[in-house]
């Protein structure tokens, strides 16, 4: 991997994962000379014992802020996968002077006042709430089964690119997600910080994302604003496992972009 200079990355995993999910990506970035800090949010991964009903988006924002401020990090490329979008966005809003760019991996910023669960259609939301109530003691999102798809659409969708070994690791190392991280709305400042932002689209084709943004879809509308750059990495929802080298290369590329994306 070629690099234009040393960058500082803070990598935040999505639901059910710990810092371990970034191991291969982090190794690639470090081999290229970058400084990498992978975060395990409270209640996830090796911090599963810290899970509690009160863990929420604010908890995870504080985790990220502690890594950045506690480590004296500057000009950080903050990378959020999936459900880490809420906490990473909140942390970037609080630390605009320390964040050089925020990169959303198969995710994006939610509008102010919305919660992660609001992204779901009513039926999917009801099913998630049922799982939490019946299988998660009322405050945990159970780890998905991560069952290989053998149907006609096998090889596509969220699990695209994952091997049987990947799926086994997700089942074995995944930990229930504190439900508060999905239900707490994020209040954002007005005006928003002018932090440069990059989307790395993996499961939804980039053209479709741009179309929804331009049409004013409430979840995607902000992605049509100034300060955005876009990259595409066709695979499933877990590119740090399915295409770690390619993801690392894209992250290094985005770190070298100027404020205007050049």
Q: What is the 3-state secondary structure (H, E, C) of 151-174?
A: CCCCCCCCCCCCCHHHHHHHHHHC
Terminus-to-terminus CA distance in the chain, angstroms?
19
Portion of the chain with pLDDT greater than 90, in percent: 85
Element (H, E) at 135: helix 122-135
Q: Would residue 2 count as lying in a domain? A: no
User: Whose CA is closest to 145, among 179, 170, 125?
Assistant: 170
| DSSP string for 45-71 | GGGGGG--TT--HHHHHHHHHHHHHHT
Q: Would residue 261 count as lying in a domain? A: no
DSSP-derived 3-state class of residue 202: coil
Enumerate residues 6+ apart whose C-beta is below 8 A from 105. Answer: 79, 80, 81, 82, 200, 202, 239, 240, 247
Q: What is the DSSP letter of 232?
A: E
Angstrom distance (rounded) from CA 232 to CA 161: 15
Q: What is the DSSP letter of 88?
A: H
Enumerate residues 6+ apart whose C-beta is below 8 A from 128. Answer: 117, 120, 141, 182
- The CATH number linked to 185 is 3.40.50.1820
Task: Give 30's Cβ-side CA count (13 Å radius).
Answer: 11
DSSP-derived 3-state class of residue 11: strand
Q: Would residue 126 count as lying in a domain? A: yes
pLDDT at 71 over 60: yes
Q: Which residue has the higher pLDDT, 70 or 216?
A: 70
Element (H, E) at 103: strand 99-105
- Report the pLDDT averaged over residues 81-108: 98
Q: Which residue has the higher pLDDT, 20 or 155?
A: 20
- Report the pLDDT averaged over residues 16-38: 99
Q: Token digits for 58? A: 């604010």
Q: Give the lowest-confidence range in 58-62, 125-129, 165-169, 210-214.
A: 210-214
Q: Would residue 89 count as lying in a domain? A: yes
pLDDT at 150 over 60: no
Q: Would residue 232 count as lying in a domain? A: yes
Amino acid 207: pLDDT = 93
pLDDT at 51 over 60: yes
pLDDT band at 152 (very low <50, low <70, confident <90, very high): very low
DSSP-derived 3-state class of residue 38: strand
Angstrom distance (rounded) from CA 141 to CA 133: 9
Residues in the chain: 262
pLDDT band at 5 (very low <50, low <70, confident <90, very high): confident
User: Other CB atoms closer than 10 Å to residue 148's CB: what's the count?
Assistant: 14
Q: Would residue 130 count as lying in a domain? A: yes
Amino acid 225: pLDDT = 79
- Report the pLDDT averaged over residues 94-102: 98
Q: Token digits for 83? A: 């459900």
| Contact criterion met (CB below 8 Å) for 38 and 63 | no
Range(s) of the domain holding residue 35: 8-255
Number of domains in the chain: 1
Q: Would residue 71 count as lying in a domain? A: yes
């Amino acid at each position: 991997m070629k690099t234009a200079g040393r960058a500082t990355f803070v990598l935040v995993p999505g639901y059910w994962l710990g810092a371990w999910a970034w191991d291969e990506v982090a190794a690639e970035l470090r081999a290229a000379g970058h400084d990498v800090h992978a975060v395990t949010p409270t209640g996830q991964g090796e911090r599963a014992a810290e899970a509690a009903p009160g863990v929420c988006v604010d908890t995870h924002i504080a985790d990220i802020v502690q890594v950045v401020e506690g480590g004296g990090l500057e000009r950080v490329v903050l990378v959020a996968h999936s459900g880490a979008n809420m906490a990473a966005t909140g942390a970037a809003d609080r630390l605009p002077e320390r964040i050089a760019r925020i990169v959303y991996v198969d995710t994006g910023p939610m509008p102010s006042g919305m919660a992660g669960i609001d992204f779901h259609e009513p039926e999917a939301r009801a099913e998630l709430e049922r799982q939490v109530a019946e299988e998660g003691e009322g405050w945990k999102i159970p780890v998905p089964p991560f069952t290989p798809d053998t149907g006609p659409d096998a090889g596509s969708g969220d699990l695209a690119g994952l091997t049987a070994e990947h799926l086994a690791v997700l089942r074995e190392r995944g930990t229930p997600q504190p439900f508060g991280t999905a239900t707490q709305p994020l209040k954002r400042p007005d005006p928003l910080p002018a932090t440069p932002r990059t989307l790395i689209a993996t499961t939804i084709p980039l053209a479709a994302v741009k179309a929804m943004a331009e049409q004013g879809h409430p979840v995607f509308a902000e992605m049509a604003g100034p300060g955005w750059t876009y990259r595409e990495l066709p695979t499933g929802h877990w590119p740090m496992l399915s295409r770690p080298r390619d993801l690392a290369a894209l992250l290094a590329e985005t770190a070298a972009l100027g404020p205007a994306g050049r």
